[in-house]
Copies of this chain bind each other. A is one copy, B any other.
């Protein structure tokens, strides 16, 4: 079964909310509760769930524990996913120090950098020189990589990742990586996000001016 892009994004969001609800002691939830929390319509929630084969109880809503299990299955949350990061600058360090991934079953296992000053092979999560990345990926069967190097280094670093066995991950560099099928990278371009937001802010302002 193949699900839509958007549906999977929302699935992950639903799951985050549900885990919090469950931790608070809640046992069931209505589509309208979830829709409020995630910022979509109730119909969207029900449509998504129906697509995922997640069933509720008419009048009784959905059983949180039940649907969390189903979601974990769909998202492949049965095993911890090991992730590496290339580039230990601003973004790379922020990610490697973030405590929030662990409880999502995502473990950052190592960082890599070309700058010897950044290397730190002691401590909790070790930072190695970039020329050790290929072997590390191979030896530890890493499949997920994060690109946090400057744009001009991104493609080269990514190519090494792929040749070593990386199958996907995130790219923070403001370029579009070239890759073959069989590899899935998602771009996070903060600059573009900001520009886009500012555009829609301006558009909204103009619209308001027209109405008044």
Contacts and interface: CB of A to CB of B under 8 A. Distances in A.
A95 B94 CA distance: 10
A72 to B, nearest CB: 11
- The dominant DSSP class at the A interface is helix
Given A170-B190, A191-B106, A144 B198 contact: yes
A155 to B, nearest CB: 12
A169 interface: yes
Contacts of A199: 8, 11-12, 74-76
A161 B143 CA distance: 40
Interface stretch (A42-50, A96-104, A133-141): A96-104
A184 B201 contact: yes
A144 B169 CA distance: 29
Which 3 A-B residue pairings sit nearest by Cβ, starting from the closest? A90-B94, A168-B201, A94-B94
Interface residues of A, number: 58
20 contacts: A8-B196, A12-B191, A16-B191, A16-B192, A74-B199, A75-B198, A75-B199, A90-B98, A91-B94, A94-B94, A98-B190, A106-B195, A144-B201, A167-B201, A168-B198, A168-B201, A184-B204, A186-B193, A188-B188, A188-B190
A58 interface: no
Contact of A12 (B5, B37, B98, B192): B192
Interface string A11-22: 111001000000
A106 B196 contact: no
A191 B174 CA distance: 19
Contacts of A83: 194
